[in-house]
Amino acid sequence: MMKTHIVLLLALCFISCSRQNSYNTVLTQADDMVEQNVVNYYKQCGNRPYLCRALYYQSMILYEQGHHDEALQRLKVGEELALTLSDVSLLSKYHESLCMVNYKAGGYALMLKYASLNKTNSLVTLKVKCEGEYSPSPINTF
C-alpha cells in the first residue's frame, strides 16, 4: 500500500517538476488526467495526508499553467485539510504558496497574513526540532 502512495506522489511530483523546466512547454492532456486521477484516488481511499499533499502539487501545476483562480481554490481546500490534520509542515507549505500567489495578484494584506502564518509555522517546527520531539516521516517531508 505504501508503494502505491509513493509511486502516485512521485508521478505527480515529476509532472510538476517537468513543467517548471523552460524547455518543456508542451502540456499534455494525459498529464492533466494523471493529476486528477491521483487526487481522486486519495479522495476515494480516504488517505487525507496524501490527499493534502496531492492537492498542493495539483494547485501549483494549475498556477504554473495560468489557472490562478482554480489554483487558489485548491490551495484553500488543501489549507483547510492541512488544518484538520494539524500538520505544521503541510500548513507551512500552503501558507508559503498562498503568500506568493497573493503577492503576485497584488493582495498585499493577504500576503502579509500568510507570511505571518508561515513564520509562526516555521517557529513551531524549529521549536519542536530543538526539543528533540521531532521525528520526520515520509509524508511530512517536501
How would you class 35 by CB atoms within 10 Å of its CB: exposed for 0-12, middle for 13-18, buried for 19 or more?
Answer: buried
Q: How many CB atoms lie within 10 A of CB 136?
A: 9
| Global confidence as pTM | 0.68
Q: Which domains does the chain have, with CATH numbers?
A: 2-17+29-130 (1.25.40.10)
pLDDT given for residue 22 in this prediction: 41
The span from the CA of 9 to the CA of 50, in Å, is: 8
* Structure confidence by residue, pLDDT tens digits, 64-77: 888 888 888 999 99
pLDDT of 78-96, one tens digit each?
Answer: 999 999 998 888 888 999 9
Mark the ranges of the chain whose per-residue pLDDT is less than 50: 17-27, 30, 137-138, 140-142
Between helix 68-85 and helix 48-65 the angle, nearest 10°, is 160
